[in-house]
Structure 1
Amino acid sequence: MAGISRRNILRGGMLAATALFTTRLAGTSAARAAEAPLAVAYNELELTGDLRQFPSWWMGGYGWNPRGCAGPGDIARHLKAHCMVIHDNGVPNVLLRLDIISIPRDVHQEIRRRVVDEEGLVAAEDFMIVTSHTHNGLFVGDTHPDPVLVLGVNDADVDAINGTTFVLMDMLVELVRRTVQETPIPATLWYDEGYEEIGFNRAGLDHVMTDVPVLLARNADDGTPLAVLFGYACHPVARPRDEKIDSDYAGLAADLIADRLGIMALYFQGCAGDQNPAEGVTLADAGRKIADTVVEVIERDQFTQVTGPFQNAMTEVELLFNRDLTDPDEVAALAERYEARLAAPGTQEQAKRHARLVLDQIENDTLPTSIPMPIQRWRLGGLTILGLSHEVLSTYHVLLKDVAADLGLGHLWIMAYVGETQCYVGADDALRAGGYEVGWENGEDDIVKHDGASVSYGWPLPLRYSPDGVDPAAPDSAEGIVMKACTELLRP
């Protein structure tokens, strides 16, 4: 849409948006809700109910050429957003989840600014946003990832992508506002975990995720199910790469659960950075298996009750690159490497686009020296929820579960893709080995892999890892920084 400047996502007026809400029927008095220790409100929003409201239909999730749906008829399964507000003695705790590939930092911070600071709907630490990471969703924002790097589009296309981002932000803020302000239903919460295996570790690590967390909200008066929150950890790439809008297996699983149980189902992604559906596992297989597991957990009814009060906290760490980019000599060496890449015959086009970006940043003194990583914790009686931003690899799931066991925490639900998704975050095992996710290969950890994730996300170097033989992780490594922050948040 004309008039939105490239690299200027947060300027300009917000666009009017039409929305298709599905609202649960309350039937509860405000007085009765105020008496209950816990009460819930929840809504579903069909984001792609009318694609014509979006200036851009470019899609994120794959590189390196433009990919977009042709129009309203190209929707295999609608993209949705859900908002669950859990009132703890009248204080709202807001979970917002949506079917989108990722949210960059500036968009995440703008949504927070409007919801928390401008409208005062919820406190910052009590607001958590999670994306499903579907690869057949709309492209959002123009920073990390950068649509020019990923898709090779022009400035007019970037303006249109930003126009779509404005519409989406309006829709999400309205969804939160609507859900926070309506009268909630007195409720009880119940947690259990199921087991399912639909994926494999595409980075060659040992870990394959199998946890299926299930949090069930029941009516406090009669025990009937109201809504269910569930999760898994696997890339939503079960749909073959094409130009159809699709929420992938996560959306299918939620639809199947909702159809079978007659309640709203909300999916939350886990540490899926290195997890893909196994060969031969179709979208239908993956969605059905996850749905079956969630229904089985609910039907066996061996839950742990989850109680208040909520004890929420958030922090932010800085992930360092593998070279010190505050050192002028390192920056000069980096410039030489990217100039050589740009001049080398046979350099792929996306690598050229990325090299130009890095060299422009060096020339303009805007080269990033670290990557911010917000982390959130919600502690309840019987359950702790840990929210990690970015595409976190599965090793963190394993390490954090061990920390929770050592601390005697009980149930820990680890969500990733929380708040903002701007890079992959590997632990030492992946960062030492190299590969697509961590951004280097062939012993060259002083420049990013020419077609790796660091190119699409626009970063100049891989993240820092511990020297060989160092265990536990070095304090300045990505693993050391993340694990220290998470352990501090988890410690009672």
Structure 2
Amino acid sequence: MPISMSVKTLDYTPTWPPYPSLWMAGYGGAPRGNQGAVDRRLRAQCIVIDDGAGPKVMLRIDVVSIPRYVHQSIRSQVLPLVNNQNGNFLIICSHTHSGPFIGTTRPHPYVMMSLTPADISAIEDTTNVFISQMVTLVQETLAMARTQVTLWYKEGNASIGYNRAGEPNVLTTVNALIARRTSDNALQTVLFGYACHAVSRGIDRTFCSDFPGAATDVISNALGVQALFFQGAAGDQEPIDAKSPSQVTNLGTILGNEVVSMVNSGGWTAVTAPITTYYQELSLPFTVDFGDPAAVIRARNSYSARLDNNTPSEYAYRHAEVMLEQIAGPGLPRVFPMPIQRWKLGGLNIFAMSHEVLSEYAANLRNQIPGNLWVMAYANETEGYVAANGILQDGGAVRWGYEAGWVDDPELSGEDTWTTFYPWPAPLKFSPSGPAAPGTTERIVMDASTAMLNL
């Protein structure tokens, strides 16, 4: 069955105007806004793959995260263009921490940087510009003439990071899917992936696509084609120090050169149509059932105490304000939504998980699922960390509980952890001892993922 493809790259690096806001995301602390400085441009790239049964669309963006409401807005406008099949549309964020703040919910710009209502309104206006640009990019790519291609998959290795949570998994796999024109076998496009936080630049006010952008430039310059980066399960994967603009180039060159070397050598597996897609939304529980009025009262008392014990200059104070506003208004969320998605091709499974998924999930899935498996994360929406049971059990004993979401009280969001910044009222549910039990985060995610991959 023939496959055809079209690809389009958009330099969406924000400028004022038309962007109302140049606030940056990825790090908390003092307000951080871009003032026109750009190192490596920010790309949004769309690839359309048509197997004769209608188009399948991947949209990858140099941005730190996309909250749920932004994902749903983009998806609702794209779905009619892909036969209204959720599985046919996939978004991946590179997770660069040197891009714009998109969305005003999770992460929360007030909690993260103590921004004013006017600043937050400007971010919302920028978000609307962003949504429009992304939908237009998809529309334009779908409207392009498509080139008939053959697809090929291969894996390599590169070492540019470490496990910052002290876990044994250090993901070094480099995934690559290339397209060659059927007419002359010439290289058409390179898709590549790796799992590592895109924070090698460090904190400053310069827009930069970080090492994924540097690697993309190396590949495109060497091979003369568009290259697209897809982030992996990098929730606990950190780039090798020291953070600096030069490290962006150093690590990107290592990764890019590995992909170029892979393309210029053999050992590729043919990837064939048809393409079958699947999409499912999981509901992950918290350690507290906020459907219980007594639990809400306990949370209200705990967050009221935080207001008394902290000052407005602290994250914990601002997070407590947001939680109390939710309790007084719409109520606390009762579940943590988590979309998962699969593209099944002959010779390759692409599996995409939303949020900042920790490496243990990717390692376990690759051990359990036979054949070629490319695990992507930061897919569709990113509203927090999804850790495996061991990290959730450890809480504040590992990296002050950042990836676990709690410090000394497993029923309360930990001060200065991900559940504060995103923000959520409590950490995700786990087994207090032993392996993950049914109904806990790890079991729900692994059971659903393996079930989807075995369809």
TM-score normalised to structure 2 length:
0.96
**Amino acid of the residue matched to residue 437 of structure 1?**
E
Indicate the SS of the match to 1:300.
coil
- Specify the alignment match of 1:488 in structure 2: 451
Alignment partner of 1:174 is 2:136: yes
- Specify the alignment match of 1:295 in structure 2: 260
Q: Distance in 2 between matches of 1:153 and 1:182?
A: 41
Shift of 1:49: 6.9
Q: Distance in 2 between matches of 1:171 and 1:448?
A: 35
- Specify the alignment match of 1:425 in structure 2: 386
Shift of 1:347: 7.9
| Among 170, 183, 188, the residue aligned to 2:145 | 183
Alignment partner of 1:46 is 2:11: yes
| Among 330, 355, 372, the residue aligned to 1:390 | 355
Indicate the SS of the match to 2:326.
helix
Q: 5+ residue gaps in structure 1?
A: 1-35
| Among 37, 40, 48, the residue aligned to 1:85 | 48
- Specify the alignment match of 2:175 in structure 1: 213
Question: In the alignment, is the contact (CA less than 8 A) between 2:28 and 2:113 conserved in 1?
Answer: yes
Shift of 1:248: 0.2
Shift of 1:51: 4.5
Shift of 1:196: 0.7
**Amino acid of the residue matched to residue 485 of structure 1?**
A
**Amino acid of the residue matched to residue 98 of structure 2?**
N
| Among 440, 462, 472, the residue aligned to 2:406 | 440
Q: Distance in 2 between matches of 1:216 and 1:343?
A: 57
Question: In the alignment, is the contact (CA less than 8 A) between 2:14 and 2:100 conserved in 1?
Answer: no
**Amino acid of the residue matched to residue 373 of structure 1?**
M
Question: In the alignment, is the contact (CA less than 8 A) between 2:91 and 2:379 conserved in 1?
Answer: yes
Indicate the SS of the match to 1:173.
helix
Indicate the SS of the match to 1:318.
strand
Indicate the SS of the match to 1:376.
strand
Q: Distance in 2 between matches of 1:200 and 1:153?
A: 33
Q: 5+ residue gaps in structure 2?
A: 396-400
- Specify the alignment match of 1:6 in structure 2: none
Q: Distance in 2 between matches of 1:440 and 1:348?
A: 20
Alignment partner of 1:110 is 2:76: no
Indicate the SS of the match to 2:318.
helix
Alignment partner of 1:196 is 2:158: yes
Question: In the alignment, is the contact (CA less than 8 A) between 1:351 and 1:455 conserved in 2?
Answer: yes
| Among 53, 60, 63, the residue aligned to 1:100 | 63
Q: Distance in 2 between matches of 1:200 and 1:253?
A: 18
- Specify the alignment match of 1:14 in structure 2: none
Indicate the SS of the match to 2:447.
helix
- Specify the alignment match of 1:18 in structure 2: none
Q: Distance in 2 between matches of 1:337 and 1:351?
A: 11
Shift of 1:184: 0.4
Indicate the SS of the match to 2:175.
strand
Shift of 1:247: 0.4
Shift of 1:345: 5.0
Cα 1:167–1:37, aligned 2, differ >3 Å: closer, same or farther? same
Q: Distance in 2 between matches of 1:49 and 1:365?
A: 33
Indicate the SS of the match to 1:53.
coil
- Specify the alignment match of 2:211 in structure 1: 249
Alignment partner of 1:355 is 2:320: yes
Shift of 1:149: 1.0
Alignment partner of 1:238 is 2:200: yes
Question: In the alignment, is the contact (CA less than 8 A) between 1:56 and 1:160 conserved in 2?
Answer: yes
Indicate the SS of the match to 1:52.
coil
Shift of 1:365: 4.4
Alignment partner of 1:156 is 2:156: no
- For residues 72-123 of structure 1, the C-alpha deviation after alignment (integer angstroms, 9 at most, x for no partner) is xx01111001111111015111010010011000010000111114x55763
Q: Distance in 1 between matches of 2:11 and 2:431?
A: 44
Q: Distance in 1 between matches of 2:197 and 2:332?
A: 30
**Amino acid of the residue matched to residue 154 of structure 2?**
D
Question: In the alignment, is the contact (CA less than 8 A) between 1:121 and 1:177 conserved in 2?
Answer: no
| Among 85, 94, 97, the residue aligned to 1:123 | 85
- Specify the alignment match of 1:8 in structure 2: none
Question: In the alignment, is the contact (CA less than 8 A) between 1:93 and 1:122 conserved in 2?
Answer: no
- Specify the alignment match of 1:271 in structure 2: 233
Indicate the SS of the match to 2:169.
coil
Shift of 1:64: 2.3
Shift of 1:330: 1.5
Question: In the alignment, is the contact (CA less than 8 A) between 1:49 and 1:78 conserved in 2?
Answer: no
Write the mapping of 1:66-85 to structure 2, written as runs, cut at 5 A.
66-71=31-36, 74-85=37-48
**Amino acid of the residue matched to residue 76 of structure 2?**
R
Q: CA RMSD in A?
A: 1.4
Question: In the alignment, is the contact (CA less than 8 A) between 1:121 and 1:180 conserved in 2?
Answer: no
Question: In the alignment, is the contact (CA less than 8 A) between 2:286 and 2:429 conserved in 1?
Answer: yes
Shift of 1:170: 1.1
Shift of 1:325: 1.4
Indicate the SS of the match to 1:148.
helix
Q: Distance in 2 between matches of 1:143 and 1:200?
A: 30
